[in-house]
Amino acid sequence: MNTGAALRRFGLCGGAQDGARLGSDPLGALIAELSEAARSPGVNASGLLSTQAAAEIFAERRVRARAVRDGTAKRDPKAFVRIATGPVRTEELGRLVANAIGTTRPLEERLALFWANHFMVSTVRTAIGAMVGAYEREALRPQMLGRF
């Protein structure tokens, strides 16, 4: 396999440094990238929602939805989720893009994007969108290069 084919098929478009990183043995470099020892941590999770935090937000949403049904509240419970998670989701998306652009392991990032797309429904839906980042960090990435 030549370097150009490796960059197109297994990278994230390839910058100038990626061709040099693959060197004269692109296949060997790709296989080495998938080694467990050098696994990428992905996005820095500091300040982002964990699965537990997202579950707490959704529990509060259920309480608020019940109050709307009972007539004791008028505010849309979905708005609560958007307000509670919106800034964090925006921050997470920025970190995800920065990580993909600056990674030294583009094959691993491409696999993370593939598996996240494969297992998730949609980030647009309020109910699931807030959990996508936590799902990738806590469930997908730790297993991605091994067995699910």
For residue range 106-126, list pLDDT tens digits in order.
888 888 888 888 877 566 665
Query: What token pair was written down for 21?
Result: 């990183």
Half-sphere exposure at residue 74, Cβ-oriented, CA atoms within 13 angstroms: 0
Alpha carbon separation from 131 to 71, 81, 84, 103, 121 (Å, rounded): 29, 11, 12, 23, 11
Same domain (yes/no): 11, 84? no
Same domain (yes/no): 57, 29? no
pTM for the model stands at: 0.72
Same domain (yes/no): 19, 45? no
Q: Could you read off the pLDDT of 19-49 as tens digits, one per residue?
A: 777 888 888 888 888 876 567 777 788 888 8
> What was the pLDDT predicted at 44?
81
Instruction: Tell me the residue range of the domain where 129 lies.
Output: 40-143
Domain count, the chain: 2
* The amino acid at 64: R
Q: By the 8 A CB rule, do 10 and 121 touch?
A: no
Q: By the 8 A CB rule, do 129 and 122 touch?
A: yes
